[in-house]
Amino acid sequence: MAVVKDHSTGKRKQLLSEFPRKFPNSIEVEEWLFEQGIYAKSRKCPAGIPMTKMLIKKKEDQKQLVWKCTHRPMATCRRAQKSIRDGSFFSGLKIGMHQVLGIIFLYLYKLEFQGIKELAGVSAPTIRSVIHLLYRLMNADIKEEDVSIGGIDKDGNRIIVEVDESKFGKRKNHKGHAVEGVWVVGGVEHTPERKIFVTTVEDRKKDTLHLILSNYIKEGSEIRTDCWKGYCGLSRIPGKRYRHRTVNHAKEFKTAAGVHTNTIEGTWNGIKSMIRARHRTAPTMKYRLAEFIFRRKHAGDLWAGIIKALKEVSFDKVTSSQCVEEEFIYTEVKRQRDDLDHDDSQFNNDTQWVTDTEDDDDQSGSYTTNSRRKRSRNQ
């Protein structure tokens, strides 16, 4: 029997206790998926004739729902047959649908891997295959508007966006300084919705950060950052009309004017708590960031979010051994440095104090090239 750790909430325990009743057997789940509109409502055979949904015997003790052509004469399509799963998230999966949904359900509510294995009754590689597909589904559910933040509010005021970058590190040989890992840049709004974007980056150079922020932060936003030199010149990005305010962490964590980056820095703690150190690699981080955004987007009802995504997303057939690289809407931004063609000559790398202000009262920060930040980025 799978053990649920003591930190489980009452809601989570209730959901886990409902598992057997929710997913009794594969055929009932298949019918439920059909009724929900997750499977196609109709199919046509190669001859263009509507096919019939029927239950057939697959093996001596197994049955399967399929689309089958029952038209006669049948010379053209030879009684063509298609799996009811074709074109859905479940295409190519060989286990029962009750097991697939069970894995998704248990993973969503953060049951430990061994617990999923015991309750779902399938092998570890199969569970990993389903979870990999789940990451793809979560990513496909994220729309551009979900990660486009900031701008001007309904009262005509600039929306404040806190921006920061953090190293998601792996410790070499599980000890010492974090020397491996991935840099992630993110931003969060000062709005009730707390909309957010997070993205992996190759480096923290000025061109890289300016490109990322101009892609995800809307025109007219007020951007608040620390004094990392890569943020210098944000208010001069053509066409964006950003206001840029800074806080110097070598001196303080909040300015007299109330400028800080505490919200986004707190977000890093939340993300890092859900991603183990061994998963903090460039390929894996893309998937885990997709999961974080999905969970935040559907925090009110994760299961309803999954059902909605299953209805809307179409998948090609993927075998359990395939590792598919997706183009992530918020984690891959091609370098288009020509789009940020503003003059950098005014910024001297040897200069210790450079102001980047649009307003007279924004003198809270300093851009340095050789000073250490008070807070460690490599956590």
Tens-digit pLDDT profile for residues 172-205: 555 555 457 899 999 999 999 999 999 999 999 9
The answer to whether residue 17 sits within a structural domain is: yes
Does residue 9 register a pLDDT over 60? no
Do 86 and 202 lie in one domain? The reply is: no
According to DSSP, the residues that pair with 197 across neighbouring strands are: 187
Supply the DSSP symbol for 219: T
The last residue of one of the domains, among 119, 141, 163, is 141
C-alpha distances (whole Å) from 48 to each of 37, 45, 77, 84 are 22, 5, 9, 17
Do 129 and 151 lie in one domain? The reply is: no
Range 113-135 burial, b when 16+ CB lie within 10 A, else e: eebbbebbebeeebbebbbbbbb
């040989």: which residue's tokens?
A: 173
How many CB atoms neighbour CB 73 within 10 A? 5
| pLDDT, averaged across the chain | 75
How high is the pLDDT of residue 50?
Answer: 66
Cα–Cα dist 222/247, whole Å: 13
Cα–Cα dist 110/163, whole Å: 29
* Tokens found for residue 291: 């999961």
How high is the pLDDT of residue 188?
Answer: 96
Give backbone dihedrals phi and psi of 22, rounded to 5 degrees, phi first.
Answer: -70, -35
Between 366 and 157, the higher pLDDT residue? 157
Does residue 27 register a pLDDT over 70? yes
The answer to whether residue 369 sits within a structural domain is: no
Average pLDDT on 96-109 reads 88
**61-78 tens-digit pLDDT:** 566 666 666 666 555 566
Do 317 and 205 lie in one domain? The reply is: yes
How high is the pLDDT of residue 149?
Answer: 96
Do 248 and 320 lie in one domain? The reply is: yes
Does residue 265 register a pLDDT over 80? yes
Does residue 223 register a pLDDT over 80? yes
How high is the pLDDT of residue 70?
Answer: 67
Average pLDDT on 10-25 reads 65
The answer to whether residue 378 sits within a structural domain is: no
Do 106 and 152 lie in one domain? The reply is: no
Report which listed range, 108-112, 242-246, 373-377, is most confident.
242-246
The answer to whether residue 365 sits within a structural domain is: no
Domain that residue 36 falls in: 10-141
**292-335 tens-digit pLDDT:** 999 999 988 999 999 999 988 766 543 333 333 334 443 344 33
Domains in the chain: how many in total? 2
Give the DSSP H/E element, type plus range, for residue 165: strand 160-171
Do 136 and 151 lie in one domain? The reply is: no
* Tokens found for residue 341: 């063609």
Parallel, antiparallel or unpaired: strands 222-225 and 217-218: unpaired
How many CB atoms neighbour CB 171 within 10 A? 16
Average pLDDT on 158-170 reads 91
Cα–Cα dist 136/157, whole Å: 37
How high is the pLDDT of residue 64?
Answer: 64
Q: Tell whether omega for the bond before 46 is within 30 degrees of 0, i.e. cis.
A: no
Q: Which of 82, 86, 76 is nearest to 47 (CA)?
A: 76
With cut-offs at 50, 70 and 90, classify the pLDDT of residue 368.
very low
* Tokens found for residue 193: 């919705």
